[in-house]
Amino acid sequence: MPTAARFRPRLAAALALLPLLALTACDSGSTDGTAPAGAQSPAPTDDPVAAVRKVASAAALLPAAVREAGTLRVGSSAGAPPSAYFPNGSDQEPEGQDIDLTDAVAKVLGITVQRQDASFETILPALESGKYDVGTGNFGVTTERLKTIDFVTYIDDGQGFAVKKGSSTLKKKVTDLTQLCGLTIGTNAGTTFEATLNARKSVCADAGKKPYDVKVYSENGATLTALQQGRIDVIMSTINGLRYQAAQPASGTAFLGEYHRLDVGFAFKKGSPLTKAFQAAVDELIEDGTYARILKKWGTSASAIDASRINPPEHT
C-alpha cells in the first residue's frame, strides 16, 4: 500500500512555519529578545489512516499519466495545529488534520504524495506555475481565489478572533469589524484574514471611528508572541486553529468565537484534471467513517461536511 513520500529542500525547511503553540523564542521581530515560555502540543497517537485501502472507482478518475507515475507533488503549509504542524520539530514529519486527510486520499487513489513544505502565501501562485499538483494549508474557498484556483472541499472552517487571556480589550464575539476600530490586529500573510481586514478598512471611517491597524506576520509563532507582548491587541486566524490554541494553557489566549465561515479544500491549478478524483476520494472517506475518525482525532468534528464539493460559492 502506498505511503507518503517527503521532499524537503533546505530552503523550504528553513522557512517552515512554526505552529501557534510554538511558544519559544522564535520571533525574529521580538524587540526585547524574549518570548512566552511553553511547549508544543504533542500529536494524538491514533492512526485512522492506517486501515485505508485503494478504491478502484475513485482511482480510475485520475488521469492515466498520474496513475502510471503513481505520485503527486503536494505543496504543504505546516503552520499550526490542528491543521498541520511540527510537534517534534521541523526536522521531523508534520502532523495534523490536513496531513491525515491528504495521506488518506492518496491511499484511496492508490498513489503516493511527494510532500514539499512551503510557506502559506507561496503555494497558490506555485500551483498556477505548475510547481505543485495540489496545495494544502487550510485554504478557504473565496470568490477571489475561485478566479484562478480550483478547490475540492474537505471541511468547513473559517475566520475568528482571539485575544490575550484576561484582556479587557474585547470581551465578546466579534460580529462587526467596527468593534476593532482603534485596535491593532495581527494576522498572517496571504490569508483570507489579511484580505478581509484590508478590504474593509473603511468601515471605521464610515462609522466616525479611529481606523484599525493591521500587522502581518509570516509565522504564527510570531503573531502569538506579538499578542503576548502587547504589540497587537487581537489575532485573526482560523476558527479551529484559535479554538485549539485557546484550549492549551501555555498559549494564554481566549477565543472570541466565529466571525465568518468558509469552506476549506484541497487547492489545484484552474482546470486541473485531478478534482473529480479527489472529490470521489473524500466522499469515500466520509462514507467509510475514516473522515469522522480523523476529525475526532484533531478535535474538529464540528466542522465536518456531509459531502465534498468542487468549487462551491463562497459562504455569504
Tell me the mean pLDDT in the region 250-276.
Answer: 96
Tell me the mean pLDDT in the region 185-196.
Answer: 94
Which of the two residues, 310 and 168, has the higher pLDDT score? 310
3 state DSSP class of 140: strand
Tell me the mean pLDDT in the region 215-221.
Answer: 90
CA atoms within 13 A on the CB side of 32: 9
Q: What pLDDT does residue 140 have? A: 95
Q: What pLDDT does residue 316 have? A: 81
Q: What pLDDT does residue 40 have? A: 57
Q: What pLDDT does residue 24 have? A: 25
Predicted confidence (pLDDT) at residue 164 exceeds the cutoff of 90: yes
Buried residues in 100-139 as b, exposed as e (16+ CB within 10 A): bbbbbbbbbbbbbbebbbbbbbbbbebbeeebbbbbbbbb
Q: How confident is the model at residue 302 (pLDDT cuts 50, 70, 90)?
A: very high
Interhelix angle 97-109/290-298, nearest 10 degrees:
160
3 state DSSP class of 291: helix
Spatial separation of the C-alpha atoms in residues 52 and 58, rounded to whole Å: 13
Predicted confidence (pLDDT) at residue 202 exceeds the cutoff of 70: yes
Which of the two residues, 6 and 31, has the higher pLDDT score? 6
C-alpha distances out from residue 91 to 8, 11, 77, 79, 86, Å: 9, 13, 15, 14, 8
Q: What pLDDT does residue 43 have? A: 81
The dihedrals phi and psi of 132, each to the nearest 5 degrees, come to -120, 155
C-alpha distances out from residue 9 to 72, 88, 151, 157, Å: 17, 19, 26, 30
Q: How confident is the model at residue 85 (pLDDT cuts 50, 70, 90)?
A: very high
The dihedrals phi and psi of 256, each to the nearest 5 degrees, come to -95, 5
Spatial separation of the C-alpha atoms in residues 284 and 185, rounded to whole Å: 40
Spatial separation of the C-alpha atoms in residues 128 and 114, rounded to whole Å: 18
Tell me the mean pLDDT in the region 91-120.
Answer: 96
Predicted confidence (pLDDT) at residue 6 exceeds the cutoff of 70: no
**What is the 3-class SS of 188-242, one letter each residue?**
ECCCHHHHHHHHCCHHHHHCCCCCCEEEEECCHHHHHHHHHCCCCCEEEEEHHHH
- pTM for the predicted model, two decimal places: 0.83
Predicted confidence (pLDDT) at residue 28 exceeds the cutoff of 60: no
Grid-cell match 500551483, residue found: 127
Spatial separation of the C-alpha atoms in residues 293 and 283, rounded to whole Å: 14
Q: What pLDDT does residue 39 have? A: 40
